[in-house]
Structure formats: C-alpha cells, structure tokens
Structure 1
Amino acid sequence: MHQRRSLNRASRRMHPAWAAISAATVAVAMVATAAFGGGNILQVQSVAPANIEVYSDTDTFAGGDSIVVDDAAVRTQGGEDTEVRRVVKEFQREREFSIFALTWTGDRDIVAYVRAERADGTWSEWYEMEPASLPAGALKAGTDPIFIEPTKRVQVSTGNVDMLEDGRADSEAPTTANDLEAVFIDGGTGTAEGDVNMVADSYTAGMPKVVSRASWGAGSSSNPTYTEPVTAATVHHTAGSNNYTEAQAPGIVRGIWHYHAVTQGWGDMGYNALVDKYGNIYEGRAGGLDRAVQGAHVGGFNANTWGVSVLGDYQQTSPSQQAIQSLGEIIGWKAAVAGFDPMGQSYHAADFNFRGSRYGQGQGAMFPNINAHRDFHYNQCPGDNLYARMDDIRRIAAVKYNALKTSDANPSTTATTTPSQKQSQKQNQNQNQNQNQTRTETVTNQNGSKTTVTNNSDSETSSADSQLLSDLLAGDATAIATAAGTVAGVILVYAAKQGLLDDAIKNVAGQELIAGLTVKDAAPYIGPALKFVGSSEVADVWYQFEPALGNIVGTGAGIGGSEMVFYESGIGVQNNSGEIFTMVGEIADAWLQQGLDLGPLGLPTSQIISTGNAGDLDEVKMEFEGGAIVYTPSENTVNIITD
C-alpha cells in the first residue's frame, strides 16, 4: 500500500451536453446538445471525425536516385567549407504530396535537408529537418514532418549518412541509406465543412474559438495519458515552407497527425494545439484541451507541459501578428484553466534521456511558464523571429489569464476550482468575516434510513454550491462546464437518463443530495457509462480490494488527476499523490449521493476509522477535503458534515 501504483489511463473527457444514449454505439453515445435544451458547450473532439483522406507513401532511402548537385547552399549544411557538390537522394512520385519526413529506428545522429521542385521546374530553398521529439518508449524515430508545398519531386541532402555510392556494399559511417525510410504525405485542403471555421462554442466560456478535431478531420486516438497539473506551455514551429494558403493549413495539420499517429505509431498528434499564420487555432491531441493531456512535443519534458506549434518556419520569417495574438490567447486560457502564472517560472526535469536535450534524465532547471522548445533542446525551434516575440506572447497570455481569473461569471474559472481550493476559500472567508452559520437538516431515504447534513458553510457559499447538481441535470452551461471531464458528471447524467434520479435531488441544509441513490443501484450503469468516457485495464493494486468491495465495474479519471475505481458495492480512489482510499456501504453511498468528487466534500483524505471507545464500531468516520461522513450502524443514520 505504500508503493505508488498508477492505472493505464484510458479516460477521455465526457461530452458536456448529451443528446441520446444509444445501444448502437459501443455502449453509450452521448452527442449533440439538444438533450438539455439550450446547452451550448460543445465537447469538440467527441464529435465523429470526418472521413477526409490523407495520402501517405514510403520508400527506402537507398531506393532514391543518387544525384550529384552543384549548389552553394549545401555549404551551409555542414561539411567542408569549400564543398559545393554533394550526392543527394532524389525521389519522384506519380501523385502529388506536400509533406516529407525521414524515419529510422535506434539512436541516430542524422542531419537532413529537403527541397522540392516547383511547378515551373525551379527548386525551393533547402528546409532543415529537425529530429522529432519522441514520447518515452517510442520505437521509431525520425525527423519532424516538413511542409514543402505540393510537389511530385524532392531532393534530400544528409550528413552522417553514407549513400553507398560507387557500388560500395559496406560503409564505415554509423548510418547508411539502407537504415532510413522516406515518407511522403498529403493532407489535402479544407476542413470537413469546406472552409476553415473555428467553432463558436468549445470547452468553456472564455476559451478562444478553435478548429475542432472533427472539423479538420482527425483520425482515431489511442488512450490519452494525463499528467496533472499542467504547469507550463511550450511554443514550437513546424518548420518547412511558410507559403501555404488558409485552405491548405488544415491539410498540414492532418498530415502532421498522420505522421505522428500512424507513421511513427504514437497513437495521436504530438501537439496539444496548433496555430496557423492566419490566426486559426486547431485542437491537437485528443483528451481535452482543458485537461492535462500529455503530448509528445519536447522529448524528456512532455509531462506537465502543454505544446502549441505554429505552422511554418520562423528562423528567417517573422510570425504574423494574428499568430502571436492567437498563441497568447490560447495559452492564457490554458494558464487560467490549469492555474499557472503566464509571467512566472516553474521547475522541470527530464524524465528520460533524449538526443539533443540540454538535460539528462533527472536533470532540470527553472523555466518560464511560457517557454520555447529550444529552452530544453539544442535546436532552433521555434525560430529566432518567433523566439524574439516570446515576451509579447506572455503579455497577451497574462491579459487573457487575468480577465478569466477576475471574471466572477466565467465558467472556466468555476470549472478549475477544486474542492480543496473551495475549502481554502471558505476557510479564508470564515476567518475574515467570522460569519459561519451551522445548518442541520435530516432527510429520510427510500429504504427508511436517515441522512443528516450538517453544513458549516456561510449561507452565500452554501446557496451557490446547492445549485450544481440541479443545474447540471437541467442542462445549465456553467454546470456542464464545471462537471466536464469528471467521473461524477458522467455517472450522474447517465443515471438521470436511466431514470434513477427522477425527483430524487433534495436540498438538505443548503446542500444538494441525491437521496436514496446507492452504489449497488448505480453499479449496473457505471460500467457502460465509463466505457464512453474511457475505461481501462486496471493496475493489479486495485484487484486486492475485490473481496471486500465486489467485482470492478468501471474506472475513470476524477478532478485533479485522481483515479476512481468503482466496484459492485464500493469505491476506490487514488489521488494524484498516489494515496489510495477505499469506501464501502453507507459511506460510499453517501459520497455518491453528494456528487462524488464534484460535490462539496471533494476527495477523501483518510481511511474509514472507528470513532467509538475501546474498539466500539457503532460509529465510523471518513475525512474528506471539504468535511466528513459519519455512519452510525445501530441507528442506520449517516451524517454528512461539510465545512
């Protein structure tokens, strides 16, 4: 129990507005916003993706034609200062492609450049191909995918690679052309709707409009990994040509997704978001823009960072003001949701060794909370001209952050206030105002048991808290935004659709209570509900509790990165510090009835303990972030105490 064990996380954010529950999909399908009449929060990546073709082809690097080029530009690519002739590989395809990359296995020191033939027969400039930032454990490595404009013919110049020219069968070079593979991709143009159009509604009010995954045509995603909390945002550029149209930008995003998810086998896009030079923002890796979804954008530093990449190369070209503004807006919103200061700093350490990193495994430093790829690795990303605008990005982000944090009506602020933060806020209010009002009220449950709520909160806070469950089930947008991504939200709404909560929500001592709902009643529905959110294979540590709690029926992610495992007659919780708490019977039921981690009690902070004398088990208690639950078996009564 002292060893921290984590789940193989597969939890995906729920759709915050539900239209129907259909047996035609895997187990549950909750789509659109009509179910609650007027709810307008759109869970963007949950909408079924459009079927937009991505063309992809590969060839062995050795299979390309060996061409000797006489070009002064190769002098800038390394080698002897006098070198202007070099053997390069030339590839031609019958079908037009617009993105090119090289892939390989193992640890390779590859220097690569690519240029493309234009329609008039001239060649583009040479584009440098930086090594891609890999996730931990990746088997296939490669360069970043480079947008080279639509072409059928490219030439690739490499360093540290022997081309096996002049009939040589062997090479003393560490890498040969036989070790590399060339990748050709074209993502087409436009979105599923045709034009590029950022959605009107997204996760929470105050969030900049984005082009959703469904709109730009993302394919399926493997199970996301969450690393709570996000403490920094990292700025990138994709490199390659800046000569793309607004209609071509979604195709570049699709091509990057295909290369990351399919070609390299990462399961999804490496970036959390992308921005084009027109200021359009694209949703990146699935799992929730406002969740701490770990991307694959800074090798060794992917945990707790949020990657945003601008389409294009900004080493020689200046970024547009639209792109700078959008970068600041989306990062400032993320900072407000995650709770990090856009103008501050935080410590980050490498969790694995990565070629080109400034830091080895376990080494780290203080970094700006809005930083750049080059701060971690020896490279030029995001280019000198974009790097020179980092302070502007921070200032724009700070304006957005402050606007959201000071807006009392902003749902994103509500959504990111954790129960422990609420408890601290309440304590501060009580200390400063000394206006505590204890309210006690009892309700009789359907089975004859009684539940007493003792509310120590001030009346104003109590009144605000008491509306959450009712507003959630009524389809209120703010309540939906608050519940979005929580296990509680999924289970409560699913239970409501099954008729388990009809006329069951009661206001007891200023707190909402789903009187009579039990874990045993909900168990048959929890599994199917959490399959929609994303169930997972459970770590071995959870199975040891099955003798006491019954069989596992579902798993999911709670507030702040916690893990929840639901059993036939109990609940297990692992907080983001690795501590595990289990509850069964009436205490588990009471925690469910007040809204699980979404309710005023928040997460558990102790195991169930006896409060009687000399081992008397007539009264048992469990502590929570926002209070406690006390059960008295002889009287069959439960007392929910909220701070």
Structure 2
Amino acid sequence: MQQRRRLNPAAPAAKHPLLAALLAAILTAAMIAAAMFSNGRILQVQTAAPADVEVYSDTASFAGGAEVTVDDAAIRTQGGEEEHVRRVVKEFTRDREFSIFALTWRGDRDIAAYVRSQRPDGTWNEWHAMDPLDPPAGSDLFGTEPIYVEPTTRVQVSTGNVDMLEGGRQISDAPTTARDLDAVFIDGGVGTVAGDITPVVDSYSRYMPKVITRTQWGAGASRTPTYTEPVTAVTVHHTAGSNNYTEAQAPGIVRGIWHYHAVTQGWGDIGYNALVDKYGNIYEGRAGGLDRAVQGAHVGGFNTNTWGVSLLGDYMQTTPSTQAISALGEIIGWKAAVAGFDPMGYSYHTADFDFRGSKYAAGQGATFPNINAHRDFHYNQCPGDYLYARMGAIRGAAQVKYTQVRSSRVFANPLMPNPRVSTTETTTDGTKTVTNTITSPDGTTTTVTNQQGTTQKVNTTLLSDLASGDTVAIATVVGTIAGVALIYAFQQGMFDDAIKNVGGTELLAGLTVKDITPYITPALKVVGSSEVAGVWQQLEPALGKAAGTVSGPNGTAMTFYANGIGVRDAQGQIFSLVGEIANAWLQQGLDLGPLGLPIAAQTSINADDIRMEFEGGTIVFTPSTKTVNIITNR
C-alpha cells in the first residue's frame, strides 16, 4: 500500500541535554575505530627497551668496480650495442662484511640491473633482479630496491642501458655511464626474535596481532609523519633478494631497509607501513602509529590513502610460507577493521604524480581491490608470481581478522551502562548479511539483521526510538552509512523538537543539507585527494565542495557536499541528490528511513516535476509550488 506525505518546513530547535548525552554514546559506537584504536597507545609501546645494533653503510662509485668477464651474466649486452655480445660485469670487494646492496643515481634513468654475491666457499649465488625504487614526489635521487644478498664481502653487478666504460675509457655519448651510478653496501646486524628483539606479548590495542615495534627492531630517528586519512586500501610487496635468511637475521634486514630509505635516499623513514618475515613475525614500519593513515613511500604516485606491507624475500620462484600468509592476513585485516574498509571490497585510486613504470599518469586511476599488489599499479613483478597467486588467501585471512575485530566493539552508554555491540557479516550467493547485536548489562540481547546494509523491516519510529534509548534502534544504526551523520547531528542538538510524524512516518522537518553539513564535518572522514579525484569530484560542479564521506557495509558510501549528497551503492553505482530531493531524503532518515538507498538518477517526469526512485519508494519535487512528496511502498 502506498502512502503520500507532504512536507512542511519547521526550524530545528535547541539542544536537549538528555538526548544529546544518549546519542553521544551511540556516536561512540558508530565511530568505534576512533575510540578503540587510539593514536597514543600505538606510540606508547616504543618505550620498550631498544635494540642497540649498529647499521654499517658504505658507498662507492660504480665506475670504480673491477671489470670482470663472466659467461653467465644476467644481462648479456651492455651499452645498447646488441651486435657486440659483452659479458662484462662490475665486481666489488669490501673489507667488511655486508648483506644488502643497492645502486643509486641522480635524475630519472632507464636502468636494468642484477646482483649476485659470493658465498664463503667461493661459489656464487643466483642473480637477483634489482627492481627500481618508487621514490616520493619531487625526489631527484633514484635507485634500485635494497637487495638482501646474504652476508658477503664480494658482489657482481650486471647492468643494462649503462655504458660500463671498460678499460678506463673516458669519452661516451651514452645517456648513462658507470660514472652516473653509486654502489651502496649496508649491513643491519643480527638481532634474534627469541632474544633481545621480541614481539609485543600483550597487544597494545584490542585484537591487534603481535608486532615487533620500531624501538625493538632498532629504528633510528624519523621525520614527522604525513597523514592522508582515511586508509582505504593496503598494497602488498616483497623486498626481493635472497630468501635464505634466518629468524635472527630478519630484524637486521629491516634495519638495513630503514637505513637505505631513511638515510641513503633521504626519505627520513622506511617506506613501508609494516613488514613481515617468512617466519610470521610482523614489524612496525613507518613511524606515526599503526592505527593512523601514515603516508608511506611504497607505490609511486598511489601513496595517498594506501598502506604498504612488504614480505621479506623474493617470491618470483618461491612459495611464501604459511606463517607469512597468516601474518599478512592478520596485520592487514586488523588495519582494515581500524580504518573501516572492506577487505573483500574495491576502491578507486588515482595517481598523484607521473612515475616511470606506472600504468597511470598523474590524475588517471582505476578501481582496485582494497587488498592489492604493487604490480596492479606499476609495470613490475612485485610481489612475485607466487605471492601474487596467494592474494586471495591473504584477503580471506584478512576478512577473518576483520570480522574478529569488528565484532569486539564495546562502548559506554550513560543510560545503559556498558552495553556490548557486536557486528558479524556473512555472504551467501553474493548477498552480504550484516547482523548487529546489542547486549545490555542485565543480559538482555537484541539482534537486528540487515541485508546489503539495508533493514529488512523499516522502523517508522526510528528517530524517537533512538531518543528513548531503544536497543533495537541502536543496533539498527550501528554500522550503517547514515549512522555517523545522523547521530552526530543528534549530539549537536539539531533534531530536538524537530521530529514530526507525517503520514505515519517520522521526519526531521525543516532540516537541509546546507544546515547539517557544517556540523557533521568533524564526524566525517575527510575525503582523500585520490578518492575525490577519482569518484566524488565528478559531483562537485553540481553539489559544491565535498565535506566528507562515510563508508558503510558491503562497499556502500555517502559523501556530503555543500549543496547535496552523493551515494555509492553496493554495486559501485554513484547517485547525486540535489536540492530539495537531497533535503527530503535527509529528513526521512537517509538510508535508515523508509526510502532506503537511491536506485535511479533524478529525472524530469513532466514540465514541472522532478522525480527520484529509491528502494522503498519515490521522491517528487515540484519547483513551481516548492512542494515535495514522499511516496513509500513499504
């Protein structure tokens, strides 16, 4: 049966203390990530006793290396002269043992390189590809990734597109010669996970996996971090180089990578947000808080709103260990729960700047899995074929951890002391079911089950029920895309005495998008530049500047603008709600109201009427009379 209701404006009244107190508590539940995973606690663990281990580093001109002819050079031609098959490599010998090797150069150059190291018995290891490093924007210092070559005193380097200047030749018209490169030798020492470096025994944030902190593995001083809230995706990497490291050597590899990124390259810190070794140990990466959106330097122009995790070793021809896959899933799933993105979902990202080897120029982008790989963005082999083949397993492990963390939510309500709200998600035949359960101190449990993030049965008195502290209403709101925005507005007192029952359904009479946007902005996640450029910016000409976004179940999202609302449904479709239609949808409770989510764009049905279809009905606006009709069918 259809119901028609005509809206009459009424101004919101003053703030009501009791209502504000109750809904402030509900806001705590809706924004639980901020309450449960506080920034300070992540940093406090660094008061643990540090690992006092020296990092050895030395640099030499690449031209100074000995010229050695070998029969099995990784790159068989030099200087681009295909007609002359040269097998000359550069060989470097140091008095002090080192375990990490890299090449650096100034200016953007097209260089290919491989390195191998000599074992104690005089034989040589296999050649390891030296992938180009992804420098941050504006950097003039380039180089290869730091390659773990095992402890050694001698390496050989095979290069392409580099004139080796054999025999002391000084004159060359090649774009790059051996004089343009520097060889870097690093050793991070040894620190045992079972001894002086140990994972945090008690997680310093609820359900966080055990992590070896920066202080514990011996990170040096770092620059002030840059934050690009929110994190919407995690990129998986491998560090390349030898997989032949012990558990005691792994922290030294992390220290060596930190020194190369922070000191040699001048980045001020390690590029990754976290690292994992083949034994399943997790290492805190870039400083600033694992719970925060610390911008790393790991994926070229796509560092904004992404988080980088790298597995120590080369996985082009080696299968990652079960412990490593589990650890990757644990830290990524925990991060997804803290940041509020779906481990099995997708998000749009754009390149912030041009980068050699990138699949996308500045301003270009695409939709990527929320748990993605380095090679998804750039033309390279990272994180190796065998690790890339396990991305599905990593996403599955992350989903398990995500569900564990999200279902552990606890918040304090002044009217219902310490109730517990838990959220579980299941997917059957492509349909995701979200179940919110609230348990009062007396043991009373109330459950609300939603499919695809919308309620199965519309609560036409939801607003009054929230005001009275009804447990069903609270459980319904938790985890929805409207929850944060509506509840924050309640907290500000915007809805006091504005709840009107019109035609059997409650409405927030007179409330407009322009009214609410300035107030709810502090409760919204600031829309990151890549997100705006790729998805939401297309709506700005019509709706005004974006104020912030809220993410909901199954990939749904809602962005508030100065003059309207943008909505993304579970299938990724974007709808814009402008003017009076946006206000009417807001007044009936956004996606929590009887209309649910939009399903079609605004259209003109005749010379004077504008219509928009929703899951549960229709909004019709008549500009000539300035009237709005809401027609519900459920």
TM-score by length of 2: 0.60
Aligned residue for 2:310, secondary structure, equals strand
Task: Tell me the equivalent position of 1:190.
Answer: 191
* 2:184 partner letter: V
Q: 1:63-462 counterparts in 2 under 5 A?
A: 63-71=64-72, 73-75=74-76, 85-190=86-191, 194-409=195-410, 432=459, 434=461, 456=467, 458=469
Q: Distance in 2 between matches of 1:81 and 1:328?
A: 46
Report the CA distance between 1:290 and its aligned residue. 1.2
Q: Deviations over 1:379-417 (max 9, x none)?
A: 110000101111111111111112222334499x9999x
Contact 1:111 1:160 in 2 (8 A): yes
Aligned residue for 1:300, secondary structure, equals helix
Report the CA distance between 1:560 and its aligned residue. 4.1
Residues 410 and 386 of structure 1: CA distance in aligned 2, closer, same or farther (over 3 Å)? farther
* 2:183 partner letter: A
Contact 1:50 1:192 in 2 (8 A): no
Report the CA distance between 1:83 and its aligned residue. 7.8
Q: Distance in 1 between matches of 2:277 and 2:145?
A: 17
Residues 16 and 43 of structure 1: CA distance in aligned 2, closer, same or farther (over 3 Å)? farther
Q: Distance in 2 between matches of 1:192 and 1:314?
A: 23
Q: Distance in 1 between matches of 2:274 and 2:411?
A: 22
Q: Deviations over 1:507-546 (max 9, x none)?
A: xxx99xxxxxxxxxxxxxxxxxxxxxxxxxxxxxxxxxxx
Q: Deviations over 1:69-122 (max 9, x none)?
A: 222644599978998752211111111100000111111111011111111111
Q: Distance in 2 between matches of 1:62 and 1:100?
A: 16
Contact 1:271 1:308 in 2 (8 A): yes
Provide structure 2 residue ranges, at least 5 long, that are not aligned to the other structure. 1-33, 413-419, 424-449, 476-489, 492-521, 529-544, 549-559, 563-588, 590-634
Residues 61 and 560 of structure 1: CA distance in aligned 2, closer, same or farther (over 3 Å)? same
Q: Distance in 1 between matches of 2:107 and 2:52?
A: 34
Contact 1:75 1:81 in 2 (8 A): no
Provide structure 1 residue ranges, at least 5 long, that are not aligned to the other structure. 1-12, 19-29, 34-40, 417-424, 439-454, 465-509, 512-556, 564-576, 581-603, 607-625, 627-643
Task: Tell me the equivalent position of 1:496.
Answer: none
* 1:308 partner letter: V
* 1:218 partner letter: A
Residues 457 and 78 of structure 1: CA distance in aligned 2, closer, same or farther (over 3 Å)? farther
Report the CA distance between 1:558 and its aligned residue. 9.7
Residues 428 and 389 of structure 1: CA distance in aligned 2, closer, same or farther (over 3 Å)? closer
Report the CA distance between 1:233 and its aligned residue. 0.8
Aligned residue for 2:70, secondary structure, equals strand
Q: Distance in 1 between matches of 2:163 and 2:394?
A: 42
Residues 175 and 305 of structure 1: CA distance in aligned 2, closer, same or farther (over 3 Å)? same
Contact 2:352 2:363 in 1 (8 A): yes
Contact 1:15 1:46 in 2 (8 A): no
Residues 360 and 605 of structure 1: CA distance in aligned 2, closer, same or farther (over 3 Å)? closer
Higher relative contact order structure (alpha carbons within 8 Å, sequence separation ≥ 6): 2
* 2:364 partner letter: Q
Contact 2:277 2:312 in 1 (8 A): yes
Residues 194 and 133 of structure 1: CA distance in aligned 2, closer, same or farther (over 3 Å)? same
Report the CA distance between 1:213 and its aligned residue. 0.6
Q: Distance in 1 between matches of 2:162 and 2:35?
A: 48
Identity over aligned pairs, percent: 68
Question: What is the aligned-residue RMSD (CA, Å)?
Answer: 4.2
* 2:399 partner letter: A
Q: How many residues align?
A: 430
* 1:432 partner letter: N
Contact 1:226 1:561 in 2 (8 A): no
Contact 2:193 2:248 in 1 (8 A): no
Aligned residue for 2:320, secondary structure, equals coil
Residues 399 and 78 of structure 1: CA distance in aligned 2, closer, same or farther (over 3 Å)? farther
Report the CA distance between 1:193 and its aligned residue. 8.1
Q: Distance in 2 between matches of 1:406 and 1:14?
A: 15
Q: Distance in 2 between matches of 1:385 and 1:86?
A: 30
Q: Distance in 2 between matches of 1:84 and 1:269?
A: 39
Q: Distance in 1 between matches of 2:108 and 2:85?
A: 29
TM-score by length of 1: 0.59
Residues 52 and 14 of structure 1: CA distance in aligned 2, closer, same or farther (over 3 Å)? farther
Q: Distance in 2 between matches of 1:369 and 1:331?
A: 10
Residues 57 and 414 of structure 1: CA distance in aligned 2, closer, same or farther (over 3 Å)? farther
Contact 1:274 1:282 in 2 (8 A): yes
* 2:397 partner letter: I
Q: Distance in 1 between matches of 2:316 and 2:274?
A: 21
Report the CA distance between 1:43 and its aligned residue. 3.2
* 2:279 partner letter: Y
